[in-house]
């Protein structure tokens, strides 16, 4: 009888010793904060793998940890690069000569290795150079529909990805099934929910692991406000809470603990807030960032607050003067009639569109972009 996907996952972990967990650039992630589901599920997997006496590293291209996920255990150890190349092993047969001592010296681009035999000479025929094993013997890829989205992690280590089995875990319908094992479930709310379904009966599961996975679900469903929060998800969350996951503490850390700089920028955003036909819009000058002490990377926090506190409005826009002097905007919309792609989109992070605007100043940009939005409907 063939193994189920869940059984294949468990067997792959058992057969491996050094595991890489990878996910795409969180800039392109869904949920709030973007990439939170991938980060939290990766940390949960890492912990349960380590509990099984294996090693596990986590990497994501261009990774920078969102401040409101810094409370997750070991999150600060996620890296944006990996070393996967094989070691060079120099083997020397010293049966007849013995070895008195060994040393090395770096000379420019060369490493000179000195072998001092106990007697006689070391014959060159007795020296061999071989490649050692790859650093990882299994790769788990999370929340990444196309392996090319791993960016430099993939392109700089293609030999590793070609040689090592891959477990592909995703809930996005566009995933192309690139793994040897593909745990794909488009009905799940999140990667964290899929991971939970795989490991929930493990004897090594603990409150820390469960709390990581609950954090991931909260991120991807925006605290259960998204349409992807179904009955099955709520039942899973109920189980997690019964087993010790602290939902209220997680929500407090993620959503209600904000730096004073973010609160100051939030105040400046509210001061210029305008509302019109389901659209709320505000502008921020470069001076607003300087005086508040906040950086552009907190703008998704501000957008999220506007969404949470203005449920009657389905479109939120913040137009701002970027650090490079260009006029840009962040836009969130649930209005399916708005053709966001026509508005100068640089990239998306979930439902959040990052726009590059052609206008010379904020006033022109506010007027022009709002007209473009209305004309696109």
| More reliable by pLDDT, 276 or 211 | 211
Residues 6+ apart with CB under 8 A from 356: 326, 328, 344, 346
Statement to judge: residues 278 and 341 lie in one domain = yes
Statement to judge: residues 181 and 267 lie in one domain = no
Cα–Cα distance for residue pair 46/21, rounded to 1 Å = 8
- CA distances to 73, 120, 207, 236, 312 from 242, rounded to whole Å, are 21, 72, 10, 10, 34
Statement to judge: residues 195 and 328 lie in one domain = no
Burial 21-36 (b: 16+ CB within 10 A, else e): bbbbbbbbbbbbbbbb
**Cβ–Cβ under 8 Å, residues 217 and 192:** yes
Statement to judge: residues 184 and 283 lie in one domain = no
Q: What is the pLDDT of residues 128-161, one digit of tens each?
A: 887 777 889 999 999 999 999 999 999 999 989 9
Q: Check which CATH number belongs to the domain holding 32 and give it.
A: 3.90.1640.10
Report pTM. 0.74
Domains identified in the chain, total number:
3
pLDDT over 90 percentage in the chain: 53
Statement to judge: residues 126 and 143 lie in one domain = no
Residue 92 lies in domain: 88-131
Residue 280: count other Cβ atoms within 10 Å of its Cβ. Answer: 20
Cα–Cα distance for residue pair 75/40, rounded to 1 Å = 8
Q: What is the pLDDT of residues 60-92, one digit of tens each?
A: 999 989 888 999 999 999 999 998 766 778 888
Q: Which one of 234, 253, 272 terminates a domain?
A: 253
Asked whether the predicted pLDDT for residue 259 surpasses 80, the reply is no
User: What are the two backbone dihedrals, phi and then psi, of residue 77, each rounded to the nearest 5 degrees?
Assistant: -95, -5
Query: What pLDDT score was predicted for residue 196?
Result: 97
Biggest distance spanned by C-alpha atoms of the chain: 91
The pair of structure tokens assigned to 284 is: 């921020």
Q: What is the pLDDT of residues 148-194, one digit of tens each?
A: 999 999 999 998 999 999 999 999 999 999 999 999 999 999 999 99
Statement to judge: residues 151 and 268 lie in one domain = no
Angle at 229 between CA 225 and CA 231, to 5 degrees: 130
């Amino acid at each position: 009888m063939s193994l189920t996907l869940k059984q294949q996952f468990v067997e792959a972990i058992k057969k491996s010793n050094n595991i890489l967990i990878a996910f795409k650039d969180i800039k392109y992630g869904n949920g709030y904060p973007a990439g939170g589901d991938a980060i939290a599920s990766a940390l949960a997997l890492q912990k349960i793998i380590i509990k099984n006496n294996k090693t596990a590293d986590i990497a994501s291209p261009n990774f920078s940890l969102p401040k409101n996920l810094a409370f997750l255990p070991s999150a600060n150890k996620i890296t944006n690069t990996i070393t996967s190349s094989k070691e060079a092993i120099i083997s020397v047969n010293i049966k007849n000569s013995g070895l008195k001592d060994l040393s090395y010296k770096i000379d420019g681009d060369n490493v000179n290795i000195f072998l001092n035999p106990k007697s006689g000479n070391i014959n060159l025929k007795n020296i061999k150079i071989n490649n050692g094993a790859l650093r990882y013997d299994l790769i788990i890829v999370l929340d990444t529909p196309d392996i090319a989205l791993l960016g430099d992690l993939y392109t700089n280590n293609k030999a590793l990805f070609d040689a090592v089995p891959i477990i592909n875990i995703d809930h996005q319908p566009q995933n192309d099934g690139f793994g040897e094992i593909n745990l794909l479930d488009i009905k799940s709310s999140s990667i964290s929910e899929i991971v939970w379904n795989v490991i929930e009966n493990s004897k090594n599961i603990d409150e820390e692991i469960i709390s990581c996975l609950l954090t991931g679900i909260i991120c991807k469903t925006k605290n259960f406000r998204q349409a992807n929060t179904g009955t099955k998800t709520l039942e899973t969350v109920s189980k997690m809470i019964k087993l010790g996951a602290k939902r209220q503490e997680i929500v407090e850390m993620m959503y209600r603990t904000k730096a004073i700089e973010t609160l100051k920028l939030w105040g400046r955003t509210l001061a210029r807030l305008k509302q019109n036909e389901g659209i709320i819009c505000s502008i921020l000058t470069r001076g607003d960032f300087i005086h508040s002490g906040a950086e552009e990377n907190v703008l998704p926090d501000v957008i999220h607050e506007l969404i949470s506190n203005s449920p009657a409005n389905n479109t939120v826009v913040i137009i701002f003067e970027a650090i490079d002097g260009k006029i840009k905007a962040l836009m969130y919309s649930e209005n399916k009639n708005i053709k966001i792609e026509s508005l100068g989109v640089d990239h998306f992070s979930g439902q959040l569109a990052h726009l590059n605007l052609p206008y010379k100043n904020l006033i022109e940009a506010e007027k022009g972009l709002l007209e473009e939005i209305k004309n696109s409907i």
